[in-house]
Amino acid sequence: MSSDNDKKSALSALDANSSLPNFSNLWQEIVDDSRDGWIWHTWLFHEFNHSAGEKNELYDLSFFVMDEKRAVGVVPLIVQKKPIGNYQGLEASYYGGFLPWPCFRRDLAPARMLELEDFAFTELEKRARKAGAGHIKIMLIPPQDLGNEVERVRSIANKHRYVATTFDFHRFHIRENTLSEVRVCSRQYHRKFSPLFEFSIAEGRNVTEQVEKEYLHLHVKNAGGQFRSDDSYTKQADFARFGEAFYVIAREKKSGKVAGMLLVNLYKNAAYYGSVAIDPAFKNKQVGHLLTWRVIEELLKRGIKTYELGPRYINPSTLTTISTSKERGINLFKEAWARGETRKIYEIEKFLSKDFLNSYINTLDESLVKYFGLE
């Protein structure tokens, strides 16, 4: 009869870029099978984050959790440079500032899952510390609420000494009456400005090199500069080429110019806002609303049930989160479409370096001083 120690000793970590045959397919197989497998877990997103974080001199320390000789879990783990004020530290995170929660195959018993998560977090921290990371942030965002998120987060946070928080994501259900019930302003924008543009969907073979380059140039123009590699735009285009996304493109009828492009990611019968680029010359034509309207029409046609727009920014500000005017503006846009529909997100974070923590506190202090006008 085997003991608990025997069970734990059967667990091991195997580098995800190992000599294991077809390891990228194995990664995706586990994510597809996992109840926690979310869009940011996918292999294509892992590859995108590799490319987008290239300038940050990242280390990919991702690993499989092995139960004897069987790969049962995927633990995404990238460590990269993270500037905080004048301090240059290292952070365990993807390009977006967090790591997705380790995910495991669905055929595992609940008690075994707890053992596997405990092992995964122990190994993750060991690897992050060895690489010199001063901070870890991880989010639990299963595609569908499972009902056990609070208990799992509490268990990991208490045992591994993380700080746990919750916040909301704008996520709304796609229904036949969605477009008739969005805010009046969005309907008015559509009536007034949509006749000025032609809209098209680009996916699969229609995602040509020209489409890829158009989005790159538009995004750079929109952002006021290029802040990530050309290859990261290729990786985004690959989402649409391989059936995990589509672009919505708005062209001005009069000039034929691309006014805006929106990339929508797809996974497990859910849609996720991916990335948007709008030519500043068309900022008064409400192109963002027009693109979103066309997205809803497309999701209705495809029978996709939900559309996730991302974090609901804190408004009003709190002592630990100061909302910028830009974030408040983005929030208003999302509210126009989500109409109060949200989902709960669970986040844990941990500081591994006193210097990193002090820099974080100093930056927060400066933000509060500025917010309260105490300069």
Average predicted confidence (pLDDT) for the chain: 92
Per the CB < 8 A criterion, the answer to whether 77 and 62 are in contact is yes
Question: Which residues on neighbouring strands pair with residue 201, listed in sequence order?
Answer: 248
> CA–CA separation, 307 vs 294, rounded Å?
13
Flag the least confident range among 6-15, 182-191, 293-302: 6-15
Contacts of 321 (CB under 8 A, 6+ apart): 314
Please write the tens of the pLDDT for every residue from 181-194.
888 989 999 999 99
Asked if the model's pLDDT at residue 1 lies above 50, the reply is no
The SS3 assignment for 295 reads helix
Question: Could you tell me the residue ranges of all domains in the chain?
Answer: 4-167+345-368, 175-304
Query: How many residues are recorded in the chain?
Result: 375
**CATH number assigned to the domain with residue range 4-167+345-368, chosen from the 4 options 1.10.10.350, 3.40.1350.10, 3.20.20.80, 3.40.630.30:** 3.40.630.30
The pLDDT tens digits for 68-90 are 989 999 999 999 999 988 899 99
- Find tokens 């919750």 and name the residue: 166
Distance CA 229, CA 6 (A): 46
Predicted pLDDT of residue 313: 72
Q: Tell me: the pLDDT tens digits for 118-159?
A: 999 999 999 999 999 999 999 999 888 888 899 999 999 999
21 pLDDT band (50/70/90 cuts)?
Answer: confident
What is the rounded distance in angstroms from the CA atom of residue 261 to the CA atom of residue 281? 14
* 98/154 Cα distance (integer angstroms): 18
Asked which of 51-65, 276-290, 326-340 is least confident by mean pLDDT, the reply is 326-340
Report pLDDT digits (tens) over 181-234.
Answer: 888 989 999 999 999 999 999 999 999 999 999 999 999 998 888 888 899 999
Tell whether omega for the bond before 316 is within 30 degrees of 0, i.e. cis: yes
Encode pLDDT of 99-120 as tens digits.
999 999 999 988 898 899 999 9
Distances 213 to 2, 232, 245, 275 between C-alpha atoms, Å: 58, 12, 17, 15
For 308, half-sphere exposure in the C-beta direction (CA atoms, 13 angstrom radius) is: 23
- When pLDDT is averaged across residues 286-302 and rounded to a whole number, the result is 96
Domains 4-167+345-368 and 175-304 share a fold: yes
- Among 228, 272, 219, CA closest to 246: 272
**Longest CA span, the chain:** 77
Question: How is domain 175-304 classified at the CATH fold level?
Answer: Aminopeptidase (3.40.630)
